[in-house]
Structure 1
């Protein structure tokens, strides 16, 4: 049990910086090139307002991180099993959060940025199905904000990568928690019968 608790704590410690990076990345998406003008004039991409990184990969991910880190504070066997069951529930919350972050970031990447073109404020890449990502020569369609395509692609790819890492970590703890929640009572009963 000590090994599984230690493993869970290390996973929780790994989740904290990932969650913080998701929050920062999402906040940067709200302020292209550090400017507040575009958020004030509502010229941001629609998917950015779904807060995939801030909510799903960030704040929601703090729940499993805290649960994993605080596991094993009580040495009572019943509480250990209960805590591992709680970590399974927290891992499921983490899977939902990271999945949400991944989906929203992916959709935002496919849609492309909302930017000012010769036709006004529009989504010039929304009908291309993401093919614009491999056509950097087309990015100059966006006149304002300057370098918005590169800004969005970089931050959204960071969010996609972080979401995958968070998903894998929560999946590992889900397996760890399920094995320990199911096997711990069995092992405890078997140990009790041997001692008797």
Structure 2
């Protein structure tokens, strides 16, 4: 088993996921691809689940894991694996944050104008049985921005999925980092022959 190579592989998977999370969060600020005033944008988006949680807090451990997995690097040792493990806990917390905010965003629904010129949350008090998520015919209630319900559902679902995958990868890296810290990283063939 090579904990260093596993850490590098995990880091290589986390980088594109964090970019997807950041882009998804930024797109939430532009419902239907249009620019709206601050008070016309769903409030939960301002918690930056994709930028902070699924983005920056995941990129930091990915950089450390990448360094711990590169052979000959100063971090490719037990201390580097310990640092990668600790940073993975931070990244897992960020991805869980992304997941929680995404679930709240999906549950409450978007802020929109239902036709009277006032922006409200028309889906916020619905029960699980009558949720707008499972009844797309309700989505037309939001007149402005057009298609905002679909926009929010798709993007928050992407953030939830990405956050879940990031959390699983980072928790696996916590275990990998613990093993690497206790047992050491892989040695290359030159190091093995020198020890023999």
The residue aligned with 2:26 is 27
Q: How many residues end up aligned between the 2 structures?
A: 183
Show structure 1 runs of 5+ residues with no match.
186-194
How far apart are residue 79 of structure 1 and its match? 6.6
- Structure 2 residue 45 is the aligned partner of structure 1 residue 48: yes
What's the TM-score once normalised by structure 1's chain length?
Answer: 0.87
- Give the whole-Å Cα distance in 1 for the aligned partners of 2:168 and 2:4: 18
Alignment RMSD: 2.1
Counterpart in 1 of 2:146?
Answer: 146
Instruction: Report the 3-state secondary structure (helix = DSSP H, G, I; strand = E; otherwise coil) of the residue aligned with 2:89.
Output: helix
The runs of 4+ residues in structure 1 deviating greater than 4 Å are 72-79
Q: Equivalents in 2 of 1:95, 1:162: separation in Å?
A: 12
Match for residue 123 of structure 1 among 121, 124, 136: 121
Contact 2:67 2:73 in 1 (8 A): no
Question: Which residue matches 1:90?
Answer: 87
- Partner Cα distance (2:76, 2:105) in 1: 43
- Per-residue CA deviation, residues 63-104 of structure 1 (Å, 9 max, x unaligned), is 011111111457599971111100111110111110000000
> How far is the alpha carbon of 1:184 from its aligned partner?
3.6
Q: State the Cα distance separating 1:11 from its structure 2 match.
A: 0.2
Q: Deviations over 1:5-38 (max 9, x none)?
A: 01100000000000000000000000112211x2
SS at match of 2:68: coil
How far residue 183 of structure 1 moved from its aligned partner, in angstroms, is 3.3
Match of 1:4 in 2: 3
Structure 2, unpaired ranges of 5+: 186-194
Q: How far is the alpha carbon of 1:151 from its aligned partner? A: 0.5
| Cα distance, 1:78–1:116 mapped onto 2, change above 3 Å | closer
Rounded Cα–Cα distance in structure 1 between residues aligned with 2:34 and 2:135: 26
Moved more, 77-86 or 118-127: 77-86
Structure whose residues are more often helix by fraction: 1
C-alpha deviation, 1:118, in angstroms: 3.2
